[in-house]
A and B are shown apart, each in its own frame.
Chain A
Amino acid sequence: MADGSAKQGRNPRTVLLLRPTFEALEDVLAKRFHLLRAWESPLPLAEFLAAHATAIRALFIRGNGSVFVDAEILSSLPNLEIIVTNCVGLDLIDMAECAKRGVAVANAGNVLTEDVAEYAVGLLMDVLRRISSADRCIRAGLWPITGLFRLGSKIGGKRVGIVGLGHIGSEVAKRLDAFGCIISYYSRKQKPSFSYTFYPNARTLAAQNDVLIVCCALNSDTYHIIDKDVMDGLGKQGIIINVGRGALVDEKELVRRLMQGEIGGAGLDVFDNEPAVPRELFTMDKVVLSPHCAVYTQESFADLFQLIVDNLEAFFSNRPLVSKVTEV
């Protein structure tokens, strides 16, 4: 074949990449494995996959901006045995199809948990204590104007409802507990090992809380889990912090309420249509916005890259995966 890939494809340590990923990660992977970069081929994806199918046992996919790994892609890779992703979230992989075909998935496990949890706490502190707002004012030279800064709201005693008490949710809860927040949660299953109050759905959770922190996975059950009814329950002073996925929240409804003063504030790391963020939010003082970077620390990336390498090494050596996803 024109691109000589037939010879390359026989490398047993071949890892397919459908889209470019972090440069540093590609460098690390390229040193240890043979990378097949789909986007470098002049062939359309379907043909490219057909051409290399026999050689591909391992696929690495990134999060944001990735191709959705659906049944079609999976059918064109009959020898695929493992998908490794740098995300915790699995919304970019058809997990049911993978299970049917016996394709194992290894995600980021727990290496990103603390980074996301502390970021959620940081967003809440920023919203309640108006940190970004005040920092902006000072940088604009406005401090000398008395009466300019509105007082914030005390964190201790706030009722905080965690939506999704998984690894991230429980680490958020542990931190906010130390600030004197009153923690409750909604999760698919009740977690008896935690003493926090459990609510059977997001609506009843919202009705009993001042703050909702969205930490759950995005799937067909949780799409728009924070909807109009939930926002009604949360009330006019309520605050929403979202470090999950944009589609967990009815963004249009949230923006409308923020504009009309029907909700207290929001800290948002994720949006429906990243990197597009509703422009109406840009002039609001009661929101804090961040570019999907709750996982982005030097420390987490070092751990994450090591984990990805470890998973691939384990696979190619026929050893158990380090962070295999067992429960979806």
Chain B
Amino acid sequence: MESLGVLFTYPVDSYLEEELGRRCKLFRLWDSPPEKRKEFLRANSSQIRAVVGSAVVGADSDLIDSLPKLEIIASFSVGLDKVDLDKCRKKGIRVTNTPDVLTDDVADLAIGLAICTMRQICQSDRFVRSGAWLTKGGYRLTSKFSGKRVGIIGLGRIGLGIAKRAEAFNCTISYHSRTEKPNTNYKYYPNLINLATNSDVLFVACALTEDTYHIINRDVIDALGPKGVLVNIARGSHVDEPELVKALVEGRLGGAGLDVFENEPEVPEELIGLDNVVLLPHVGSGTVETRKEMANLVLANLEAHVQKKPLLTPVV
């Protein structure tokens, strides 16, 4: 693989970066300041045959156009909303992602976010560390997660993982997706507003596409209501963020557990002071174990490509 020129778009994982550096001819997109990016790409494009992207920086139309020798995009993520897939199909560029290896971690975190949000665990921790327990008595009553009505948007691998875990908490499971899924006992809602109306906790677990952009809008938020909790471990753009913030501040939504935001790493200022939210920096797959598996999968896909063997996890 030493002759494979690889453009790494963002320093998202140090192990992956080390391995790419060791095994390939590595170009780091962030080595050039944004204003010099075009020059950087022009200077190196004759050597770059592969791009390793991620949920932070993918491979959009402009980037693909600036790399005439590009053969493969191996994304360090399962979501491919930051890759121009149509362009890749047209140009015969292969695209791989990292499905399955991160399913458990993301589903785990979704449930963790739900519990921490409803039981205000982070806020309770702050309460103790501030010394308030000594002076203010006990913490307030919070909201139980077990036995609640769980609604899941998108019943793919991650959605099913969330369902399985929530069932162990005696939750009832319902879902909304493009089509009803066979082989489940979960209740299907073809209408998202109805799902939200009948859920206490709503999990966003679908892919980001044109259809699901801002799928969580004011109507859905209002249907979920002042006791409802939204958990988003998918993409920030699934949610109309200004509407979400307004609803939380005005008490029209009970709470939110958010691992993703529309414009990471920016987090709306108004959320910082709220007790009924938990804010995480896009760490759904953020465990030592899983990031290593993801990195190895990216490397294995690149290796297979170079050796003209079948790609392990191709999407295009």
Contacts and interface: CB of A to CB of B under 8 A. Distances in A.
B142 A282 contact: no
B283 A293 contact: no
Nearest to B11: A146
A266 to B, nearest CB: 12
A153 B11 CA distance: 20
Given A129-B108, A132-B122, A154-B105, A291 B128 contact: yes
Given A129-B286, A154-B289, 20 more contacts: A64-B138, A114-B146, A121-B115, A122-B119, A125-B111, A126-B112, A126-B121, A128-B287, A129-B287, A131-B122, A134-B281, A134-B283, A135-B116, A177-B168, A178-B165, A179-B165, A277-B133, A293-B142, A297-B144, A301-B141
B61 interface: no
Given A129-B112, A152-B287, A138 B139 contact: no
A118 B144 contact: yes
Interface string A122-157: 110110111110111111000110110101111110
Contact of B122 (A119, A121, A126, A275): A126
10 contacts: A117-B146, A121-B115, A135-B116, A152-B287, A153-B289, A155-B104, A156-B108, A180-B104, A297-B144, A298-B143
Interface of B: 11, 14, 104-105, 108-109, 111-113, 115-116, 119, 121-122, 124-129, 133-134, 138-147, 164-165, 167-170, 264-265, 267, 272, 278-281, 283, 286-291
Contacts of B265: 143-144
A126 B116 contact: yes
Given A117-B146, A152-B287, A297-B141, A122 B112 contact: yes
Nearest to B264: A143
A30 B113 CA distance: 39
A153 B290 CA distance: 9
Contacts, number: 172
B125 A149 contact: no
B30 to A, nearest CB: 9
Contacts of B124: 289-291, 293
Interface string A92-136: 000000000000000000000011011101110110111110111
A261 B103 CA distance: 31
Interface in A197-250: none
Contacts of A298: 141-144
Contact of A293 (B11, B112, B139): B139
Interface string A169-202: 0000011011110000000000000000000000
A292 B138 contact: yes
A132 B122 CA distance: 5
A276 interface: yes
A297 B125 contact: no
A122 B267 contact: no
Nearest to A156: B104
A149 B288 contact: no
Contacts of A275: 133-134
A122 B116 contact: yes
Query: Quick one: which of B124, B147, B286 has the most chain A CB within 10 A?
Result: B124
Contacts of B278: 131, 135
Given A118-B119, A131-B116, A290-B139, A155 B108 contact: yes
A298 B289 CA distance: 37
A288 interface: yes
A275 B138 CA distance: 9
A272 to B, nearest CB: 14
Contact of B108 (A115, A125, A289, A297): A125
Contacts of B111: 125, 179
A39 interface: no
A290 B116 contact: no
A126 B112 CA distance: 7
Contacts of A292: 138
Contacts of B286: 129, 149, 151-152
B125 A290 contact: yes
B256 to A, nearest CB: 12
Given A138-B267, A290-B125, A179 B108 contact: yes
A119 B116 CA distance: 9
B280 A114 contact: no
A132 B287 contact: no
A258 B217 CA distance: 45
Contacts of B146: 114-115, 117-118
Contacts of A149: 281, 283, 286
Interface in A242-300: 274-277, 282, 288-293, 296-300
Contact of A291 (B104, B133, B145): B133
A134 B280 contact: yes
A247 to B, nearest CB: 18
Given A115-B144, A291-B133, A297-B143, A138 B112 contact: no
Given A135-B122, A144-B265, A298-B143, A129 B167 contact: no
